[in-house]
Structure 1
């Protein structure tokens, strides 16, 4: 492959409570073949004063407008999302198929069962302390900011909205994607089993791969270079 015009833009969708800045370091590991484009959700970082979404379909519509605007002349797109970000990336992929001139080359769905799966144990509606404990259980890690009363007060409304959006999510369609899918889970993930991640095979008619890198549910926190290299190899070298 030659030519800047054939490079791939990797649109990255955050997990619950996270912002676009989580993915900014990934640009250090990319080269001219890959542009990392973190998507921005309201209720955090530069959009802290904007009401967060509680509905995944409204979020996907908002993200579609944002991503199309940010793409510029880019044509080849891959999407990566973790947990909540995986279902948002799935919804966004369906919508990008209708955008003229855009080619979605692959969906990378991380840390998530296939989209039709519903979580049996919920955090929505719990008291603040119960909610935080349940989210820590789901995430498999603890954000120190939730132990600081002032930061917790700032973070909690958006985190609650994200969790509600994820727990209430129902796919907009059951039609399989004409786009290849890579599902990822940390090999030691206690929240998403290998079989649950493999369920993403049913979402595509264009090829499927399951990848299980070292680590737990939040393996991607230390795997930026690995994941960027995986995307490079998968979308640019086959």
Structure 2
């Protein structure tokens, strides 16, 4: 029996772009084709207005993912932090429209979608905002040590954070596809209990898995993440 190749659509964390996941394309995992998803306001879409509402992101990105994967393709979704929220809502949209190719949802570094964010950075002055984002994200990108880069990147990061902080789940009807929640074993921002609450969003199988590292474990563990995807029922 020939195994169908799985397209893994990857949604970035706040401030991130498709370039992060283009590095994953260099990892040789034969069963999985990485499909980096680009949000507006960064990299080749720098001049496009960034999203501030998850609903707008879902409306634009869902058909682009389907088109990029191709007719009848098997699709899984992966998202980290803000990306987990986007991946979840895109999965909901694919199920709502009856797309037959959705195989799996992989969510990373995120509480379940019905928790909501309590601590907020939206609206803070620049330095306080960046400090808050660094605290939420568990890391500080080196670009934010360059004042010129901060001026360029700050509007998109503010839009991403606003989108994340204003997000409220669109419904409570559970998905039918399997869900895997991934978390760095030393993540101080998202607890194991919070990550395991993703079990409530699906009627299908749920798996929880920890990988070495903190909140941004995926920076160093791309191959382990992709091997987790390749070892899932989505690739059977």
What TM-score bracket applies, with the shorter chain setting the length?
Answer: over 0.9
**Aligned counterpart in structure 2 of residue 116 of structure 1, from 111, 114, 117:** 114
Conserved 8 A contact 1:8-1:75: yes
1:225 corresponding residue in structure 2 = 223
- The alpha carbon displacement at 1:29 in A equals 2.0
Conserved 8 A contact 1:77-1:105: yes
How far apart in 1 are the matches of 2:222 and 2:185?
Answer: 16
Where in structure 2 are the equivalents of 1:25-174 lying within 5 Å?
Answer: 25-99=23-97, 102-174=100-172
What is the SS of the residue equivalent to 1:227?
A: helix
User: After superposition, what is the alpha-carbon deviation per residue over 1:196-238, rounded to whole angstroms, capped at 9, x for unaligned?
Assistant: 0000000000010110111000000001111111100013566
- The alpha carbon displacement at 1:124 in A equals 0.3
How far apart in 1 are the matches of 2:228 and 2:72?
Answer: 20
2:21 corresponding residue in structure 1 = 23
2:181 corresponding residue in structure 1 = 183
What is the root-mean-square deviation of aligned Cα atoms in Å? 1.4
Conserved 8 A contact 2:76-2:234: no
Deviates more, 1:81-90 or 1:93-102: 93-102
How far apart in 1 are the matches of 2:211 and 2:67?
Answer: 33
Conserved 8 A contact 2:10-2:78: yes
Conserved 8 A contact 1:179-1:205: yes
- The alpha carbon displacement at 1:71 in A equals 1.6
- The alpha carbon displacement at 1:113 in A equals 0.2
Is 1:2–2:2 an aligned residue pair?
yes
- Could you tell me which runs of 5 or more consecutive residues in structure 1 were left unpaired when the two chains were aligned: none
Number of matched pairs = 236
How far apart in 2 are the matches of 1:65 and 1:117?
Answer: 27
Conserved 8 A contact 2:41-2:48: yes
- The alpha carbon displacement at 1:70 in A equals 1.0
**Aligned counterpart in structure 1 of residue 211 of structure 2, from 189, 210, 213:** 213
Deviates more, 1:110-119 or 1:93-102: 93-102
User: After superposition, what is the alpha-carbon deviation per residue over 1:137-159, rounded to whole angstroms, capped at 9, x for unaligned?
Assistant: 11111111111111000000000
How far apart in 2 are the matches of 1:237 and 1:88?
Answer: 22
User: After superposition, what is the alpha-carbon deviation per residue over 1:37-96, rounded to whole angstroms, capped at 9, x for unaligned?
Assistant: 011100001100000000001111111121122122352111100000000000000111
User: After superposition, what is the alpha-carbon deviation per residue over 1:110-144, rounded to whole angstroms, capped at 9, x for unaligned?
Assistant: 00000011222100010000000000011111111
Conserved 8 A contact 1:55-1:169: yes
What is the SS of the residue equivalent to 2:207?
A: strand
What is the SS of the residue equivalent to 1:229?
A: helix
1:203 corresponding residue in structure 2 = 201
Conserved 8 A contact 2:104-2:234: no
Conserved 8 A contact 1:107-1:179: yes
Q: 1:237 to 1:88 in 2, by over 3 A?
A: closer
